[in-house]
Amino acid sequence: MSPVTANTSANDNSVLGEDGTDGVTRYRQLASVIRHKIVSGEYPIGHQLPTVDAMAQSHGIAKVTVRQAFALLAEEGLISSQRGRGTHVIKAPSGFDERLRAAINDDAVGAADLEIRILEKRDGVSLPTALSRFGKAHDTYAMVRKLHIQDGAPFCAIEMYVATSVYARFPRGGEKRHKLVQLLRQVVGDRMGATYMTLTVEPADYVLVRDLGYIFGA
């Protein structure tokens, strides 16, 4: 079995919570949903957004809430509304997309581009049954639960299990500065073998609300 396994939780859902939930108003929730669609390319530059009526109906919110979200995005310079022509995307958030993609996909991204916050670390634990499907498990593992943060906003919660004998060879404090996969490759190299990761996209439960700052159930 690979000396490292992981559970990774991310969240990307347009369901809006109650107004004011966790201090986030519904128009800001909607603005965040639209902003993400612009960043991801689902709403490219020049794209016409759904009408106020259509968006209010699809999200189950008041028209004034949609107008407030549009006003916020217009203030950011991302969209423009003109009577009789609708609302169009005129700009994407500069630089955010590629740096976030790198933070997610590039094992070599360090603390200069990515903030790593260790939430919990436990030594001498057994590998959970759900993660022990591949090969023979090591005797004990170090469990590290952490957040990956970009531009001050957490975007990924990770729980990783690294074989104790391997984790002991990591540089002291290295888990706070580098991704564990990068450290693992430095220590184990070609002997690492296969790596298995479980990526879960799910409604935010209490733990994800607390760690990632999302709306409950989003």
Nearest to 144 by CA among 97, 178, 105, 99: 178
Distance CA 50, CA 52 (A): 7
Rounded to the nearest 5°, which phi and psi values hold at 28?
A: -70, -35
Q: What is the CATH number of domain 21-89?
A: 1.10.10.10
Which comes out higher in pLDDT, residue 176 or 4? Answer: 176
Determine the pLDDT at residue 216: 55
- Residue 139's pLDDT band, with cuts at 50, 70 and 90, is very high
Please tell me the number of Cα atoms within 13 Å of 45 on its side-chain side: 7
Q: Is pLDDT at 134 greater than 70 in this prediction?
A: yes
Report the pLDDT averaged over residues 139-157: 85
Report for 6-10, 130-134, 183-187, 211-215: range of highest mean pLDDT: 183-187
Tokens representing residue 162 in the block: 């690294």
Query: Do residues 24 and 212 lie in contact, with contact meaning Cβ atoms separated by under 8 Å?
Result: no
Report the pLDDT averaged over residues 182-200: 73
Q: Is 135 left (phi over 0), alpha (psi -120 to 50) or beta?
A: left
For the sheet containing 4-10, what is the strand order? 115-125, 141-150, 153-163, 4-10, 196-201
Query: Do residues 89 and 99 lie in contact, with contact meaning Cβ atoms separated by under 8 Å?
Result: no
Determine the pLDDT at residue 41: 84
Number of residues assigned to the chain: 218
CB proximity list for 130: less than 8 A, separation 6 or greater = 198
Which comes out higher in pLDDT, residue 10 or 124? Answer: 124
Q: pLDDT for 33-84, tens place per residue?
A: 898 888 878 899 999 999 999 999 998 999 999 999 999 899 989 999 998 8
Strands 196-201 and 4-10: parallel
Determine the pLDDT at residue 61: 92
> For domain 4-13+98-212, which architecture applies?
3-Layer(aba) Sandwich (3.40)
Q: Where in the chain is the domain with CATH 1.10.10.10?
A: 21-89
Q: Where in the chain is the domain with CATH 3.40.1410?
A: 4-13+98-212
Q: Give pTM, 2 decimals.
A: 0.51
Determine the pLDDT at residue 203: 66
Query: What percentage of residues in the chain have a pLDDT greater than 70?
Result: 69
Q: Is pLDDT at 10 greater than 50 in this prediction?
A: no
